């Protein structure tokens, strides 16, 4: 089936994960630790991030978890801040983090190019919807995106298929005409379980060629390689 739409993950896919989110991870764990740096370092390790190098493990809590999952995991690991306080604090932090985000390419040009091809596009993220919209507004591509879903939008959470099926519902696409693009196994599982025509992993996040290859039809260095794939159709 000819590809008619592409559903993107956000962090590590549209954004360079290390440059955009490692500083945020340091900030949120310090908040959760009540300012205790030793505890914050422990929380980082539990979340899958090395506090010294900043390297985040693929598919770890900080790499792939939504706000609720991260908050619950940090509480279980000994965080000082309560689960309820973390939910609101982290969602606000994540929305403001769009101002520090580093895109992997010129996103305005990238999405306008996909629209010019007649493709439907969407973003499905484990972040909250407010953060996704703030990012799209900052980089001026909101008008070229047909669908936005965060963990709190109502379509469920990754790796469940709900966000991908929601994209098909909103755009009128058959799932087989959809590509799902992401940097973690959660994204690939979401696409596969939704019946996507193709899943593509990218290496601008925490996933590696080794973690993504068994689940993806292709693994690209970054999203710009999609144009080559589409040209070959």
Residue where a domain stops, chosen among 68, 100, 132? 100
- pLDDT for 71: 96
Secondary structure class of 138 (helix, strand, coil): helix
Q: What is the DSSP letter of 152?
A: T
Can you give the pTM of this predicted structure? 0.95
Domain count of the fold of the chain: 2
Domain with 121 in it: what CATH number? 3.40.50.1000
Q: 135: domain range?
A: 5-16+102-231
Same domain membership, residue 226 and residue 115: yes
- pLDDT for 40: 98
Residue where a domain stops, chosen among 73, 100, 127? 100
Same domain membership, residue 107 and residue 216: yes
The sign of the torsion formed by the CA atoms of 28, 13, 163, 187 equals negative
Minimal CA–CA distance to 4: which of 184, 155, 174? 174
Same domain membership, residue 128 and residue 217: yes
Q: Report the C-alpha gap between 217 and 200 in whole angstroms.
A: 6
Same domain membership, residue 184 and residue 71: no
Q: Where are the alpha helices (DSSP H) in 117-217?
A: 129-138, 162-171, 185-194, 209-212
Q: Report the C-alpha gap between 137 and 114 in whole angstroms.
A: 17
Reported in sequence order, the residue ranges of the chain that DSSP labels E, i.e. its strands, are 5-8, 120-124, 147-149, 178-182, 198-202, 218-220
Beta-carbon-side half-sphere exposure of residue 64 (alpha carbons within 13 Å)? 19
Residue where a domain stops, chosen among 100, 130, 155? 100
Secondary structure class of 23 (helix, strand, coil): helix
Q: Per-residue pLDDT for the chain (233 aa), expressed as one digit of tens each?
A: 799 999 999 999 999 999 999 999 999 999 999 999 999 999 999 999 999 999 999 999 999 999 999 999 999 999 999 999 999 999 999 989 888 899 999 999 999 999 999 999 999 999 999 999 999 999 999 999 999 999 999 999 999 999 999 999 999 999 999 999 999 999 999 999 999 999 999 999 999 999 999 999 999 999 999 999 999 87
Minimal CA–CA distance to 126: which of 205, 41, 229? 205
For residue 159, whether the previous peptide bond is cis, meaning omega lies within 30 degrees of 0, is yes
């Amino acid at each position: 089936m000819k590809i008619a739409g592409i559903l993107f993950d956000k962090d590590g896919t549209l954004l360079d994960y290390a440059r955009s989110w490692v500083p945020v991870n340091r900030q949120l764990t310090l908040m959760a630790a009540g300012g205790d740096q030793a505890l914050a370092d422990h929380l980082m390790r539990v979340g899958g991030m090395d506090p010294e190098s900043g390297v985040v493990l693929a598919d770890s809590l900080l790499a792939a978890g939504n706000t609720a999952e991260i908050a619950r995991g940090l509480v279980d690991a000994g965080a000082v801040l309560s689960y309820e306080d973390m939910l609101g604090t982290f969602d606000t932090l994540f929305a403001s983090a769009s101002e520090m985000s580093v895109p992997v390419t010129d996103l305005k040009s990238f999405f306008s190019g996909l629209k010019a091809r007649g493709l439907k596009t969407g973003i499905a993220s484990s972040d909250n919807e407010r953060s996704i919209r703030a990012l799209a507004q900052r980089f001026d591509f909101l008008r070229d995106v047909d669908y936005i879903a965060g963990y709190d939008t109502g379509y469920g959470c990754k790796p469940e298929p709900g966000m991908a099926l929601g994209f098909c519902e909103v755009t009128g696409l058959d799932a087989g005409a959809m590509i799902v693009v992401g940097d973690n196994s959660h994204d690939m599982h979401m696409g596969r379980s939704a019946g996507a025509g193709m899943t593509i992993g990218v290496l601008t996040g925490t996933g590696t060629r080794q973690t993504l290859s068994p689940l993806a039809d292709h693994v690209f260095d970054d999203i710009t390689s999609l144009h080559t794939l589409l040209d070959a159709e």
